[in-house]
Every structure is written in C-alpha cells, then in structure tokens.
Amino acid sequence: MSHIIFKSASKPETGEGIQYHLRIKPGDVSRYVLLPGDPERVKKIASYWDEAWFVASHREYTTYTGKYKGVLISATSTGIGSPSTAIAVEELARVGADTFIRVGTTGSLHKHIGIGDIIISTGAVRLEGTSKQYIIPEYPAVASYEVVLALIEAAETLNVKYHVGLSASTDSFYVGQERPGYRDYMPPFNKGLINFLKQANVLNFEMEASTIFTLSNIYGLRAGMVCAVIANRETEEFVAEAGVDEAIKVANEAVKILSEWDELKRKKNKRYFSISLLIGRDEGK
C-alpha cells in the first residue's frame, strides 16, 4: 500500500479510521486484546481459538481476531520494547479496545521462580523512557485488579504454576537488565541492579508491561500481564519458549473469565467487579 492519504499529520488515520501503524480500523478488533511482542506468537495464540481470522500486518504489528469459547478476542504483536508497544496501545484504543493482556516471556530474578513457571504482574517498575513521555515518574504502573484476578483464576483453572507480584520493565535487554554488553560493557549505575530489585521484592525483568499499565491507567482502560519464565538470573538457566504455551492458555482463558464478569457487572448494573457478584453475600453478617 503506497500513498495512502491520512486525515492529518497529527491524526494519522484514514477517513475510514484505519490507523497508520497497525492498519486496523473500528470493528476489526475485540475489546479484549492480547499483546505478545512477537508477530509469530499472534498465530500461536490464535491457534487455541475456535476460529480466527487475519486482520492486518504492517511492520512489527500483526493482528488476528477470532472467537475463544464464544468470546470475541484479538491479538496484536507489539514488537520488542516500550516505544512500539505504546503505539500499539494508542491505535488499539482508538479502534475500540479497552482491555489488554500482555503475553510474553520474562527473566526471573529469584531461584524459586523457575524456568517454565508463569508470572502474573500486579505492577511494574518503570525502568523505561516511553511512559515518562506521558506522565511524571511517580505515577504508578499498576495492572487492573480485574485483569489480575482473571489471570489468577485462569491459572488456577488450568492448574498452571504461577507467581504474582511486581515486574520491572526495561528499555534494554542486555545492559539494562544487567547482562554484560558487547566486550563486557556494564555502566556503574546498572551494577547490582538485579540484587537491588530482588531485595525490593521485584519478581522479573521484561520490556513492555510498565508502558501498557501506565497508558491504560491514564486512559481509563484495563491491563494485565502474564509472562513465561524463560530465563533465571540466579541459576543462569535460559530455555527459549519454556512455559509460553501455558502463558498463552492462561491469557486466553482470562479473557473468557473477564467477559463473564463483565456480563455480570452489566446485568447487576455495577461498575466494578467484586467477589459478591459471584457468590452473593448476606448483608450485615
């Protein structure tokens, strides 16, 4: 596609609403969108759906939509890192998505969080630059409690080993995660980073969650993250793709659960999900 005319330089979408980077328009995606980094992983995610159709592919962004257990669901790749991820969130929100689940891979900082386990993030340390272009550094990058709860519920249902807690999102896979750079380069300000974060009870390194969480909070959207542990920074193990299928299954199932809870909220005219919506509760007892 060449010479597409967009509405304006500051609003790069076509008259039909096709977004400049993702090449998606309103009606193309579900309100629930899974966000892997890798375009190939979008197809893997969609392979677990009852039906799936290709929506668009442009640069690092591939989008599929389909049905999982009867629920309309989409997946869009973000590419690696926060700048491209922020673009994905921006353009998906513009076409109607309001709930994001990052599905990715991660490096555990703790021995007991082993290769192949999954991590459900409640929030992320903002060790990246993109979210700082949106808001002051003190603004928290927290996940939506509804998405966190749905991911935990999904992991329990599927009997997958999971951990819940804080992540740290960096802009750099190597030096920014205290991996030696080329020729063993390591700036003094990153020496000891792993130990420091471990002491602060941060579970893992990854590269996108804090931006997804920060933008989602700013815009009043919901977001969560489930990642497969492929690296352990204490034991030095590294196994590509370990736990990825489990993380994908948990994310898909969490969408089904969220859709049920959203329907309950709608029926009971509630803005927020609470346990009593599921089990009922005797007032005053």
Q: What are the catalytic residues?
A: 21, 91, 179, 233
208-237: which residues touch ligand URA (CB under 6 A)? 230-231
* Binds ligand URA (CB under 6 A): choice among 19, 99, 131, 177: 177
Residue 4: how many other CB atoms lie within 10 Å: 10
* Binds ligand URA (CB under 6 A): choice among 6, 48, 139, 173: 173
92-111: which residues touch ligand URA (CB under 6 A)? 105-107
The C-alpha atoms of residue 106 and residue 204 are separated, in whole angstroms, by 7
113-132: which residues touch ligand URA (CB under 6 A)? none
> Is 192 strand, coil or helix?
coil
The C-alpha atoms of residue 135 and residue 243 are separated, in whole angstroms, by 34
Q: Which two tokens stand for residue 57?
A: 């592919």
Which residue is listed with tokens 């590294």? 238
Q: Which helix (H) or strand (E) holds 256?
A: helix 244-267
Give the interface size with ligand URA as a residue count (CB under 6 A): 10
Residue 65 sits in the site that holds ligand URA (CB under 6 A): no
Are 86 and 207 within 8 A, CB to CB?
A: no
DSSP code, position 133: G
Cβ proximity to ligand URA, 207 vs 215, nearer residue: 207
Q: Which of 12, 190, 155, 160 is nearest to 94 (CA)?
A: 12
Residue 38 sits in the site that holds ligand URA (CB under 6 A): no
Q: Which two tokens stand for residue 223?
A: 């977001």
Cβ proximity to ligand URA, 97 vs 143, nearer residue: 143
Q: Give least dist CB 179 to ligand URA, A.
A: 8
- Which residue has its beta carbon closest to ligand URA? 107
Q: Which of 173, 163, 84 is nearest to 127 (CA)?
A: 173
Residue 205 sits in the site that holds ligand URA (CB under 6 A): yes
Binding span for ligand URA by CB under 6 A among 5-13, 156-164, 200-208, 242-250: 200-208
Q: Give least dist CB 59 to ligand URA, A.
A: 20
Residues near ligand URA (CB under 6 A) are 105-107, 173, 177, 205-207, 230-231
